[in-house]
Structure 1
Amino acid sequence: MRKHVITLEDPVEFVYKDNKSFINQREMGRHFKSFGGGIRSVLREDPDIVIVGEMRDLDTISAAISLAETGHLVLSTLHTNDTVQTVDRIIQSFPETMQNQIRMQLSLTLKAVISQVLIPKADNSGRIVAREILFNNDSVRNLILRGQTQYIYSTLETAQQEGMILMDQSIQKLFKDGIITETEALFNMRDRDRLYME
C-alpha cells in the first residue's frame, strides 16, 4: 500500500520520486513560515509519514510530538552527539513545569533514535559512519518516565539482540576491523577504555 509522505525542509536538498509512496515536498519560506507551523498545517493533507528537516526550537518539537500522538510517523533530525542526548534535548527544550508531561508523551510516542558520526577511514578513501541505535522498549520507556535517561546507556549496551548498539561499540568494531585509526576511534568515543575491551 502506497503511503502519503510529506517532507518539511529548509531547503529542499533532494527531489524524491513517487516510486513506492506519494511524496509531497514542502520548503520553508515557500510553503510554510516555520517548522512548527508547517507540522500543524500538514494534518489537513492526511499524511501517513511526516519528515521534519530539523527540530530547532520548542514550537517545532512540541508540534512534532503532538503529531506523533495522533498516530503519524514523524521523522526528524536534532544536532546531538548520541541518542541519550537527543532524548534529553527534547525534554529539556520544554520549561521545567512541563517536563514530566513531555516525558510521558515521549515515552509513549518515541519509536527509535539513531545517532551517527562520520569518521575518516584509515586508508584515506573517505569517511565511514559509526552509529548508535536506540529503540523505545519497556526499559527505555520507564527510564524516560522516571527522568533517569543517563541509565539508557546500560540498556543500549545490553540490548544488541533487539537491534540496539552503543556508539562506542560501533566505533570499537570499526577500529578492530582496521577501518579507522586508533586516533580517530579514541577521539570519537565516549568511554575510551572500551576500545581495547574484548
Structure 2
Amino acid sequence: APRESMKRMFDVAHGHSAIISQHEIPRHLPSFKAFVRNTLRRAPKIILVGETRDSETVEASLAASETGHTVYSTVHSRSVAHTMARRANLFPPHERMTKVFELIESFRVVIVQKLVRRADGTGRVALREFLVFDQVIRDHLRMATSLRETEHILGKMVEKHGQTMLSAAQRAYDAGLIPAHEVALLERQSSSSLIESMGKEFGE
C-alpha cells in the first residue's frame, strides 16, 4: 500500500508543469530585447515585456506580434496618443513613420493609467484612458503623413471610440470616488495638451 501511494504521488508530480516562466533583467538575460528573442525559441502563447525602453525591444516585440504571439508591454506615457509617439521616437527620424505603421498594425489596445487619491483619503483610484484598435481606427491612422498628425488623429479617436482620462475622472467624481480638485487638475492638463497640439499643428 505505501508503494502504491508513492507511485500515485509520483505520477501526479510528473504530470505537473508551470505555465508561467519568468526572467529577471539583467540577472537571467542582459536586456528586454534579449528576453523577447530568447522567449520566441520556447514557443510561448503570451509574452509580457516589463518595459519598452529602446528601439531594439520595440523591434523584437513587433517581430513577436507579427508571428502571432500576444505581447503585453509597458511604457511611461501621459496619453494614448503620446504612447505611439513614445515608441516611434525611439527610432531615428527617417524610420519613425515606418515604425508608426507597424505599430498601428500591431496594437490591439492601449491603456493609460493614472492613480488618483480617493475622496475619503483611504487610498487611490485607478483612472484609465484607453482605445481599442479595430479596422476603423487603423484606416483613419493610415491617412496620417507625420507623427504629429498621427497623435492628433489618435486623440480624436480616443474621444470618439475610447475613453479619455478626463471622462474617466468625471465618472469617478460622479460616483463619489475622487475629489473635485482632481478633475479640475486633469481639465487643466487636457487644455494644455490641446494648446500644445495646436501649436505643433500650425508650426508654432
Provide TM-score, normalisation by structure 2: 0.77
Partner of 2:151: 149
1:56 aligned to 2:53? Answer: yes
What are the residue-to-residue correspondences of 1:161-180 with 2, within 5 Å? 164-180=162-178
Q: Offset at 1:176? A: 2.0
- On the 8 A contact 2:36/2:60 being kept in 1, the answer is yes
Identity, % of aligned positions = 30
Partner of 2:41: 44
Q: Offset at 1:75? A: 0.3
Partner of 1:4: none
Partner of 1:77: 74
Q: Offset at 1:100? A: 2.5
Q: Offset at 1:61? A: 1.4
Point out the structure with the larger helix share: 2
Name the CA shift for 1:170/1:115 in 2 (closer, same or farther; >3 Å).
same
Gaps of 5+ in 1: 1-18, 193-198
Q: Offset at 1:69? A: 1.1
What are the residue-to-residue correspondences of 1:119-138 with 2, within 5 Å? 119-138=116-135
The structure whose Rg is larger is 2
Partner of 2:105: 108
Q: Offset at 1:165? A: 1.1
Deviations 1:22-61 (A, max 9, x none): 1101111222100011111111100011000001111111
Partner of 2:93: 96
Q: Distance in 2 between matches of 1:138 and 1:29?
A: 38
SS in 2 for 1:165: coil
Q: Distance in 2 between matches of 1:153 and 1:100?
A: 17
Give aligned pairs, total.
170
Q: Offset at 1:82? A: 1.3
Provide TM-score, normalisation by structure 1: 0.79
RMSD in angstroms over aligned alpha carbons?
A: 2.0
